[in-house]
Amino acid sequence: MATVDVLPEVAGVHWRARVDAAQLRLRGRLWTLTTIAHVVPFAGAATLLMALQPLALPVALVCLAHAWIIPELYAQRGANVLRPRGRAAHGSPTAEPEQRSVGLLGDLVGHEARELHARTGLVLEPGRLGTWLVGESGAVLLHGRRRVFCYCVKVDPRRAQAAELPSGDRIAHLLLALRSDEPGFATVANLAFAGAHWRLRRRLRKEMRPALRAARAALDSRARLAR
């Protein structure tokens, strides 16, 4: 069987360094520094304004609002990678393909992942870099105790067939690519957000939050077994 270890799509982003644990740590720290660089000047300006002139309270509040909103917008960008497309209504012409695609996806994952997908629309997949949550147009990697990396990655929209794929197939495409070359998958994907787990949880849709909890629990359980 002629197998290929590196994801073929990596050739399309040859200028990118292949993602590994060290690069993830570095990128995570850079994101933290960027967040600090956004928050500290606004918070500092608010403090200074209040110290110099208490009547400048409205302006100070605007500064604080900026300090709060900018990291939230980044987290929202991260949560958006898991946003599902509209599903076919029961009985509609696209309902059957939808069911068939979910059936195929179910064959690729275990019982627990299948059940979690039915509840949240996300597939939990353990990897070497951490634990992944795979959605229709993106994936979230939980790496280490506190940090998440949100990747925007999808079936290549330049392919005409991509627009017609049902949800289960979209996830299956990403899952198979992830399973064949995890670092390559993370290299091809665009990083939309890296930051604290709690920031992402707050911006996720309610029905998806159990998937994040399950991914965290899976990561903790693996860490305990590794000790």
SS3 at position 190? strand
Question: Is residue 89 involved in binding another protein (CB under 8 A)?
Answer: no
- The amino acid at residue 193 is F
SS3 at position 96? helix
Closest CA to 118 of 108, 133, 106, 107: 106
Q: Which is nearer to another protein, 45 or 136 (CB)?
A: 136
Question: Is residue 91 involved in binding another protein (CB under 8 A)?
Answer: no
Question: Is residue 104 involved in binding another protein (CB under 8 A)?
Answer: yes
SS3 at position 157? coil
Question: Is residue 189 involved in binding another protein (CB under 8 A)?
Answer: yes
> What is the spatial distance between Cα 118 and Cα 109, in angstroms, rounded to a whole number?
12
Question: Is residue 220 involved in binding another protein (CB under 8 A)?
Answer: no
Interface residue with another protein among 79, 116, 120, 125 (CB under 8 A) is 125
Question: Is residue 44 involved in binding another protein (CB under 8 A)?
Answer: no
Q: Which is nearer to another protein, 120 or 167 (CB)?
A: 167
Letters for 152-181 (x = contact with another protein by CB under 8 A, - = none) are xxxxxxxx-xx-xxx-xx--xxx-xx-xxx
SS3 at position 224? helix
Question: Is residue 92 involved in binding another protein (CB under 8 A)?
Answer: no
- Listed in sequence order, the residues at least 6 apart from 117 whose beta carbon sits closer than 8 Å to its beta carbon are 102, 105, 106, 109, 123, 171
Question: Is residue 85 involved in binding another protein (CB under 8 A)?
Answer: no
- Listed in sequence order, the residues at least 6 apart from 97 whose beta carbon sits closer than 8 Å to its beta carbon are 88, 166
**Interface ranges with another protein (CB under 8 A):** 1-4, 7-9, 12-13, 81, 96-101, 103-104, 108, 110, 125-127, 137-138, 151-159, 161-162, 164-166, 168-169, 172-174, 176-177, 179-181, 185, 188-190
